[in-house]
Amino acid sequence: MTTRVACIGECMMELSERPDGSLLRGYGGDTLNTALYLARLGVAVDYVTALGDDPWSDEMLAAWAAEGVGTGEVRRLPGRMPGLYIIRTDGSGERSFHYWRDSAAARDLFSGPGAAETQRALAGYDLVYASGISLSLYGEAGRAALAETCRAVQSKGGRVAFDTNYRPRGWPDKAKAQAAFRDAMAAADLIFASAEDLDWLYGPDGEEEVLRHHGRCEIVLKGGGSPPSVRVLTGTDDVTVPASPIETVVDTTAAGDSFAAAYMAARLAGRSPAEAAACGHRLAGTVIGHRGAVIPRAAMPDLTLD
């Protein structure tokens, strides 16, 4: 039977400001990037979010479907819109991100009309993936509903993966984020944790916050360094897998998102944690050699997962 994966989160409209002030339109979101790369690696994956009934929401849906991402569980909220961000590049090439997302439809996935149906549908997946950014969308009640959904997934034999993407601006204060991440890690069967996120969130105790789950779940600890290494811990393995050096790093957008996709695709195909980490490095290493989150299809490395 086909393994079905659900990626939960938000995709926003992206406007990149050009030197003449005009704006180039695209779209982006961390968990969407992961869904898209999973689809390219042959995994049956749905993106689970809420959109509006506006033309840009229509365009996003069509683009995801064209990439092979399932859209059957995308809720459309009448009168609502997707969130939006502008990327501004200053004279020295430094980029800054500016957001309009407080009223984005995606925030009501676990609270608006139809939330119960979304929860029921999610419970039927084999693997459900969410990130720290996903958590920041929902508020206390929404996060509780997501946690309940994850328990339902596990009670049916499915698994839950959590990626610690910490963006301070998404949280009212650090304590809320710390508590939400703690709960999410305690509930997950697979944790992708970046040393940088853990350090921002928990300071010197960061690694300990994750390693306390060693033995209970699979942990992928992404360290710094150049090239970076990851340490993968399962009940039986504790291996460190370095990335190959990359000649030119063009843009690190979606490095972690694509790493997670290739890691999960490889594990779902029966590869060992060390092999899966090597696949993660190969895809992420290719992604950072290109501009933008999503590389051309022709540039996808062959991970031979069949």
Catalytic residue set: 257
Q: Which residue is nearest to ligand ADP (CB)?
A: 256
Q: Which residue, 83 or 132, has its beta carbon nearer to ligand ADP?
A: 132
**Neighbour-count burial of 120, counting CB atoms closer than 10 A to its CB (0-12 exposed, 13-18 middle, 19+ buried):** exposed
The only residue of 180, 243, 294, 305 in contact with ligand ADP, by rule CB under 6 A: 243
Geometric angle at alpha carbon 22, from 16 and 27, rounded to 5°: 30
H or E, element range at 303: none
Q: Which residue, 36 or 77, has its beta carbon nearer to ligand ADP?
A: 36
x/- letters, 199..228, toward ligand ADP (CB under 6 A): -----------------------x---xxx
Count of all residues that appear for the chain in the document = 306
CB of 296 to ligand ADP, least distance (A): 18
H or E, element range at 119: helix 115-122
Alpha-carbon distances of 94 from 14, 84, 89, 255, rounded to whole Å: 17, 20, 5, 19
Span of 59-67, 167-175, 232-240, 278-286 interacting with ligand ADP by CB under 6 A? 278-286
CB of 167 to ligand ADP, least distance (A): 11
**Is 129 near ligand ADP (CB under 6 A)?**
no
Whole-number Å distance between alpha carbons of 252 and 31: 16
The only residue of 12, 69, 188, 288 in contact with ligand ADP, by rule CB under 6 A: 288
**Is 255 near ligand ADP (CB under 6 A)?**
yes
Whole-number Å distance between alpha carbons of 27 and 56: 9
